[in-house]
């Protein structure tokens, strides 16, 4: 009987990562710009909240 806690086969891992997704395709550079912009906006709002 095979172990339930054993490592996955290579084909199982590859099929998981190669599965097509219907979500938006985002460029990593665009995500960094969005995250940094959001952080800067939050810091500016926080700065002016105490004036």
In tens, the pLDDT along 10-35 reads 555 555 556 667 777 888 999 999 99
Give the count of alpha carbons within 13 A of 47, CB side only: 6
pLDDT for 8: 53
**What is the C-alpha to C-alpha distance for residues 37 and 41, in angstroms, rounded to an integer?**
6
Give the start-to-end residue ranges of the domains of the chain. 24-51
- Identify the weakest region by mean pLDDT among 5-9, 34-38, 44-48: 5-9
**What is the C-alpha to C-alpha distance for residues 16 and 38, in angstroms, rounded to an integer?**
32
């Amino acid at each position: 009987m095979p172990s339930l806690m054993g490592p996955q086969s290579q084909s199982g891992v590859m099929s998981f990562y190669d599965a097509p997704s219907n979500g938006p395709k985002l460029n990593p550079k665009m995500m960094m710009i969005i995250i940094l912009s959001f952080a800067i906006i939050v810091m500016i709002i926080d700065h002016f909240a105490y004036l």
